[in-house]
Amino acid sequence: MSVNLNTEPVWLRFRYACPLPAPSEFVRRLTSVATNLLQKATMFNTRTLLSAVTLLCVGFQDFLWAEVPDTTETYQGRAEDAPWREQAEKRIEKIRKADLTLVVKDQHGNPIGNAQLEVKQQSHAFWFGTEIRGLLIISDPQYLKWKGTSEEDAQKYRDVAKKFFNITAFGNDLVYNFWYNRGKETSVRVWDEWLDTNGIALRGIPLVWSGKHDWKNPPELMALPKEQLRKRLNTHITEIMETLDGKCVMWDVLNEPISEPYFVDVLGREEAVKWYKLAREMEPQAKLYCNDYSILLDREKLDQFIELVQSLLNSGAPIDGVSPQSHLWQGQPLPSMESLKEQFDLLAELGLEIYPDQFEVINSDEQLQADYTRDFYIMAFSHPAVVGVTHWGFWEGDIWMKQASWFRKDWSPTPCGEAMMDLLYKKWWTEIEGKTDPQGHFTTRGFLGKYDVTVKASNQTKKVTLEIPQAGAIADITMQL
């Protein structure tokens, strides 16, 4: 590979995280990073001039990018009058909303006309998810001290998470090394003390992840002979699922098998099929997923991912869905909205659910971040095979990548946060008032999800909770007059 230095450079930003190494190791890693960046430049089909590498020490979130000139970034489909928008809105109206008919009668079965009604949505059927920090949720004193976070911020974190999201995932608590450190204790406490109490669902990430990094898996695990490795992974799956028995509505059984294929390479795809069957046996009601990153950016990798999943399905793996991880870094070309729909369509040919996971736009251009995040959600919400989206964190005070935040350290919303509040609580939220007709009927249309309905007639008030499913709903409400 060669780099033409006579052309105008296109500057890209990449980040590399590692612990501070010894000097000789530092040089080795720096060389490895430089090679890696040039390979990425080839993958993105972009001319790159590498000027510097910034190291981020694990455990710290503040870092400085190499000072390189910014280039103006955008994406196809950003315009307000882009044709895809009208098409997406039509699909949303069809697949994310349904009719609701309320029939109000007295205790004798007589219709009550002119009854006042308030219909207020409480939650979505679509999964709007986030990554959470378990130790922050439970206000662990040592963690708060280490992060420099107050109890007031911890409470605000819980309140905002509850308001905006109906499903969560732990960042690292279920990763092998973390699980056997404090992850097991933390995840159970978060469920018992907060998630279950507030009716927030949990997504289990991951069960099997063969990342060759010490922070993911201990070296002794990666060095096990084949049969011992097989037994150890089965024991791990059993242990983690028994501990979280019934707490997760879905599991990423196989995490990043194209990017981190070691366990599958060593044990074979037939072993991966057994992992899914074991997970199904232990959690019959939970949805089982397979995920990987960059598959919405790299068509070759997407094809490899689809081939793997189809192979596992053909061999009897009970896979319910696929999760394209969606970390979008500054400097990477942002997929156009039409391209994004095409990738969803290709994944949908597997006949499985699609759940874009770990979504975030990491970009110093806050308006670009806001626009693309909004449009990504619109495209996902408009696709019939997509069942949810998880954004990878939300608060600048405790998030993997601060540039992807919805809220700043002082809890003021970023442009991205404002855009998402507008979507979730204005455009995609149903609150309606009205009156019944002479036959006691009131019909409206709302987004799929749970609702509180208040009926007032003859100085009497009654409140009911109901759900609007895809097929719509007819609810009889009897008033004692």
Report which of 282, 356, 295, 353 is spatially closest to residue 319, judged by C-alpha positions.
Answer: 353
pTM, 2 dp? 0.85
Q: How far apart are CA 176 and CA 215, in angstroms?
A: 9
In-domain check, residue 416: yes
Number of domains in the chain: 2
Residue 197 has pLDDT above 70, yes or no: yes
- CA 336 to CA 372: how far, in whole Å? 9
* 240: its two tokens: 């983690």
Amino acid at 456: K
Q: Is residue 250 part of a domain?
A: no
Q: Which of 391, 459, 472 is nearest to 115 (CA)?
A: 459
What's the whole-number mean pLDDT along residues 95-112?
A: 97
Residue 242 lies in a domain: no
The reply to whether 36 and 184 lie within a common domain is no
Q: Are strands 16-18 and 55-57 parallel, antiparallel or unpaired?
A: parallel
What pLDDT, on the 0 to 100 scale, is given for residue 27?
44
Q: What is the pLDDT of residue 50?
A: 33
Q: What percent of the chain has pLDDT over 70?
A: 85
326 lies in the same domain as 407 = yes
**332 and 414 fall within a common domain:** yes
Q: Which residues pair with 464 in a beta bridge?
A: 453
Q: State whether 418 and 332 are in the same domain.
A: yes
Among residues 31, 55, 71, the one where a domain terminates is 71
Q: Same domain, yes or no, for 66 and 127? A: no
Domain assignment present for residue 433? The answer is: no
Residue 415 belongs to some domain of the structure:
yes
Q: What is the DSSP letter of 358?
A: E
Cis peptide before 206 (omega within 30 of 0): yes
**Which domain-ending residue is among 71, 96, 114?**
71
Q: 3-class DSSP state for residue 122?
A: strand
pLDDT score at 214? 80
Q: Assess whether 200 and 325 both reside in one domain.
A: yes
Residue 440's pLDDT band (cuts 50, 70, 90)? very high
The C-alpha atoms of residue 302 and residue 123 are separated, in whole angstroms, by 33
Claim to verify: residue 328 and residue 408 sit in the same structural domain = yes
Is 103 a member of any domain? no
> For residues 461 and 104, is the Cβ–Cβ distance under 8 A?
no
Residue 195 has a pLDDT of 97
Please tell me the least confidently modeled range out of 29-33, 299-303, 349-353, 459-463.
Answer: 29-33
Rounded-to-integer distance, Cα 392 and Cα 170, Å: 10
Rounded CA separation 442/105 (Å): 12
64 and 130 in a single domain? The answer is no
Do residue 417 and residue 331 come from a single domain?
yes
Lowest mean pLDDT among 57-71, 303-317, 327-341: 57-71
The pLDDT score that the predictor gives to residue 45 is 34
Say what the pLDDT of residue 134 is. 96
Backbone dihedral region of 451: left (phi > 0), alpha (psi from -120 to 50 degrees) or beta? beta
The CATH number given to whatever domain includes residue 136 is: 3.20.20.80
Mean pLDDT of 99-103: 98
Instruction: For residues 216 and 219, give the distance between their C-alpha atoms in angstroms, rounded to a whole number.
Output: 9
Residue 4 structural domain: 1-71
Whether residue 129 sits in one domain with residue 64: no
Residue with tokens 């598959």: 295
pLDDT averaged over every residue in the chain: 88
Residue 275 lies in a domain: no
Residue ranges with strand state E in 206-348 = 250-255, 287-293, 321-329
Which residue among 427, 447, 470 closes a domain? Answer: 427
Q: Are 37 and 66 in contact (CB under 8 A)?
A: no
Quick check: 179 pLDDT over 90? yes
Closest CA to 408 of 421, 417, 396: 396
Share of the chain above pLDDT 90, in %: 82
Q: Angle at which helices 366-381 and 83-95 pack, to 10 degrees? A: 50
Q: Would you state the pLDDT for residue 20?
A: 45
The CA distance from 284 to 32, in Å, is 44
| Mean pLDDT in residue range 431-443 | 97
Question: Comparing C-alpha atoms, which of 50, 44, 47, 46 is closest to residue 16?
Answer: 50
Whether residues 196 and 326 fall in one domain = yes
Reading the block at residue 481, the tokens are: 């007059």
CA proximity to 256, closest of 202, 304, 299 = 304
Please report the pLDDT score of residue 72 as a whole number: 64
β-pairing verdict for 250-255 and 287-293: parallel
Is 178 among the domain residues? yes
Is pLDDT larger for residue 50 or for residue 82? Answer: 82
Please give the C-alpha separations between residue 239 and each of 176, 180, 184, 229, 293, in angstroms, as whole numbers.
11, 11, 10, 15, 26
Confidence of residue 332 (pLDDT cuts 50, 70, 90): confident
Q: Are 21 and 151 in a shared domain?
A: no
